[in-house]
Structure 1
Amino acid sequence: MKCIIVDDEPLALDLLEDNLSRIPFITNVGRCKNAFEAIQAIHEHQPDLIFLDIQMPGLDGMSFVKSLSQPPLIVFVTAHKQYSLESYDLNALDYLVKPVSFERFFKACNKAQEWHQLRKRVTTAELVSGEENAKADFMMVHIDYSLVKVSFKEILFVEGLKDYVKIFLQNAPKPLVTRMNLKAVEEALPSPDFSRIHRSYIVALDKIDALRKNALVIKGHELPLGESFRERVDNYFKLK
């Protein structure tokens, strides 16, 4: 597993390098003193993980992560506690507050290794087309600081909310909320078991309890049925 370290303080970089030298499963491939050097290191080394300071001259750590279209795993290492909530919004793997003990650092590294291995195992479930994904029966979603396995058969419907989705499950008191767009969810779900019924909704077709002119019902939830998606639903039930 490859990582780079990013901090504007040389002593902080030295400490990260020293700690990483004691971690056998992570190889440090880049030492960067600002976000611009980090961008170059990402292009050159394609790291799996970044240990990243937040307050840096030029481009701060938060803005740097936002600028990445497909960021690696991110562990923030900072002297400031107040950015932890924002780090959650950026799907950071962990948030370490300086000074960081080796025990706490090692815990973050273990978590990164687990995520890295899990990502390799579930890439197919997350990224392949619906047709290919029929071979899998689950997908992994990012909830808080964990990857959560979601079985397709448990999904009732998915609601898109800009950059987030709500995944409604059978026998769950409340939906799972994760930072993901609806198109990515649609590509991960197997077809024809799931279908978009509206620009904001994807449903499990076998979970539909009632079908109306401009809506359908799943477990008491009435969902809008867009005219352009009606034919897909009708074809599934052979109601044309």
Structure 2
Amino acid sequence: MSINCVIIDDEPLAAEVIETHVNKLASLNIVAICHRATDAFEILRKQKVDLLFLDIQMPGLTGIEFLRSLKHPPKVILTTAYKDYALEGYELDIVDYLMKPISFERFVRAVNKFFEMQPQTIEVHHPEKEGSDAYVYVKAGKMINKVLLKDILYIESFKDYVNIHTSNRVITARQTLVSIEQSLPESLFVRIHRSYIVSINQITGFTSTTISINEKAIPIGRNYKQQVFHCLNYLPPEE
């Protein structure tokens, strides 16, 4: 997993320290080094950037002002000699706040925070194609959970998190529903709503607007009705 980084710092020596730290980590790739925040606008427009190392006190446009100006900013680690902006930085959902001079040990801790915030890829294992032993690994916190596909009832999303409901537990993971949908076999699971994926084998009934799994009624999204009824081999009567 290669992370594209941009360093924004008006002090060449400070930027060089961060560059040296970045080059020690194989997972990080420097896209650009900017000595003014305004120089980074074009970089962000043209390239995919995952992480910014952003100084605060810079001429023209401060790091905080630059960050506020971005509609969809990448993740940010603030690098500064001033501690007065820490609260404001965390209100802008930064990853970490590094005080200069920045040691490599402290730098690595900040980068690890970034990786901990990233969605975890779900990997499906099929020992015998899609038999009863097929399973997924799901990371929830520090625990890697093994979940048999046959035990999954349904999956619901909440922003950047999902709840995977099984017959005996609920697992919460930082993961997008789209990435899970791409990993699960279409013969066993179907997306029925922007926020729900259900196990086809666990469906106990349905109406024109809901899918029932045991006692749980799950809504069918308007844009998903056709694929849901096709999956269920059901031809709804003409209205």
Q: State the TM-score bracket (shorter-chain normalisation).
A: 0.5 to 0.7
Q: Give aligned pairs, total.
A: 214
Which residue of structure 2 aligns with residue 37 of structure 1? 39
Counterpart amino acid of residue 168 in structure 1: I
**2:206 maps to which of 198, 207, 211:** 211
| 1:195 equivalent in alignment to 2:200 | no
Q: Any stretches of 5+ residues in structure 2 without a counterpart?
A: 124-129
Counterpart amino acid of residue 214 in structure 1: T
Q: 5 Å matches for 1:1-240?
A: 3-10=5-12, 12-20=14-22, 23=24, 25=26, 26=28, 28=30, 30-42=32-44, 49-53=51-55, 57=61, 60=64, 62-63=67-68, 66-68=71-73, 71=74, 74-78=76-80, 79=83, 80-82=85-87, 83-84=89-90, 86-87=92-93, 94-99=95-100, 100-109=102-111, 138=136, 153=149, 155-160=152-157, 163-164=159-160, 166-170=162-166, 171-173=168-170, 175-176=172-173, 180=176, 186-187=181-182, 189-218=184-213, 220-226=215-221, 229-240=224-235
Question: Over the residues paired in the alignment, what is the CA RMSD in angstroms?
Answer: 4.8
1:225 and 1:113 map into 2 onto residues whose CA distance is 34
Deviation, structure 1 residue 177: 5.7
Aligned partner of residue 67 in structure 1, secondary structure: coil
Q: 1:138·1:150 contact (CA, 8 Å) conserved in 2?
A: yes
Counterpart amino acid of residue 90 in structure 2: S
Deviation, structure 1 residue 5: 0.8
TM-score, normalised relative to structure 1: 0.59
Structure with greater helix share of residues: 1
Q: Any stretches of 5+ residues in structure 1 without a counterpart?
A: 126-133
Percent identical among aligned pairs is 26
Q: Which has the higher contact order (CA 8 A, sep 6+)?
A: 1
TM-score, normalised relative to structure 2: 0.59
Q: 1:54·1:62 contact (CA, 8 Å) conserved in 2?
A: no
Structure showing greater radius of gyration is: 2
